[in-house]
A = this chain, B = another copy of it.
Amino acid sequence: MNPIIQQLTKHRSIRKFQDQPLPEGLLETLIRAGQCAATSNQVQAYSVIRITDPHKRDRLAELAGGQPYVSAAPEFLVFCADMKRATEAAERAGAEVVRGTSEQLVVASVDTALMAQNVAIAAESEGLGICYIGGIRNNPDGVSELLALPEYVYPVFGMCIGYPAQDPEVKPRLPLESILKQDRYDDSQDQAQVAGFDEAMHRYYQERTGGRKDSTWSKELAPLFTTKLRLHMKAFLEKRGFGLK
């Protein structure tokens, strides 16, 4: 395994950081590395808001559902899907632009994620730790107002960055056979594979908590599809000009 793949396999989310800022210019290097990711037809449908204002940090930590590391991390970035810049550029070049499509939602969300993952990898290659913050979609209206996001821009996720002050274990993943299929979607082994993974996660939780946490992957997923549904996202995205058409 080469050193780059080795680094990829060591990723874990970091939520406690040393009180040490990034060296001058490093954040810019990370964002530039992010920009080098593939982008659909070179549209580069993203903007990154670096949050330095401590009041805004505190407010974002609150809006994300009370995540103190959003305030405390040396750097906190909000990654936005951005179709404003590109559509306006095309318009100035004479195109009769159509906005607000589901395709644009997919393109901009994917572009933003590819870019952010490069930033994450670049950060980890410098000994930094990161944590994606999906919680900014708990109250995307509040986040959009706080950061003055215009139409055709929406906050996809945040990211904490800093030097780690913890060393959590790498979390297990589904077996390769669950994920990788050949020539067609065959899920005939799915239930057995998930059962095996549930056991692996049960062992992981037991070991990490000295036997206190009695859970599995399947059980942990439940809130995602019951209480943490974020049913506001449809109306929010449509209001911001994504997914109407």
**Interface of A toward B, CB cutoff 8 Å:** 1-5, 7-11, 13, 28-33, 35-38, 40-44, 46-53, 56, 80, 84-90, 92-99, 101-103, 105-107, 109-110, 112-114, 116-118, 120-122, 125-126, 130-132, 134, 137, 147-150, 153, 156-157, 170-171, 173-174, 176, 178-187, 190-191, 194, 198, 216-222, 224-226, 228-231, 233-234, 237, 243-245
Does B122 lie within 8 Å of A36, measured CB to CB?
no
Which B residues lie within 8 Å of A106 (CB)?
Answer: 109, 137, 156, 233, 237
Query: How many identical chains are in the complex?
Result: 2
Which B residues lie within 8 Å of A173 (CB)?
Answer: 32, 35-36, 44
Does B42 lie within 8 Å of A217, measured CB to CB?
yes
Given contacts A35-B176, A183-B49, A194-B85, contact A98 B4 (CB under 8 A): no
Nearest-neighbour CB distance to chain B for A118, whole angstroms, equals 5
Interchain CA distance A185-B32 in the complex, whole Å: 19
Interchain CA distance A75-B158 in the complex, whole Å: 33
Interchain CA distance A156-B38 in the complex, whole Å: 14
Does A219 lie within 8 Å of B132, measured CB to CB?
no
- What residue of chain B has the Cβ atom nearest to residue A110's Cβ? B113
Which B residues lie within 8 Å of A98 (CB)?
Answer: 225-226, 229
Nearest-neighbour CB distance to chain B for A222, whole angstroms, equals 4
Nearest-neighbour CB distance to chain B for A202, whole angstroms, equals 12
Interchain CA distance A217-B230 in the complex, whole Å: 36
Which B residues lie within 8 Å of A29 (CB)?
Answer: 1, 5
Nearest-neighbour CB distance to chain B for A42, whole angstroms, equals 6
Which residue from B36, B40, B53, B96 sits with its C-beta under 8 Å from A8?
A: B36
Other CB < 8 Å A-B pairs besides A50-B183, A113-B114, 20 of them?
A2-B126, A31-B179, A35-B176, A38-B120, A43-B221, A48-B181, A52-B182, A85-B187, A86-B224, A89-B217, A89-B221, A90-B221, A93-B222, A101-B229, A106-B237, A109-B109, A109-B113, A110-B110, A147-B184, A148-B184
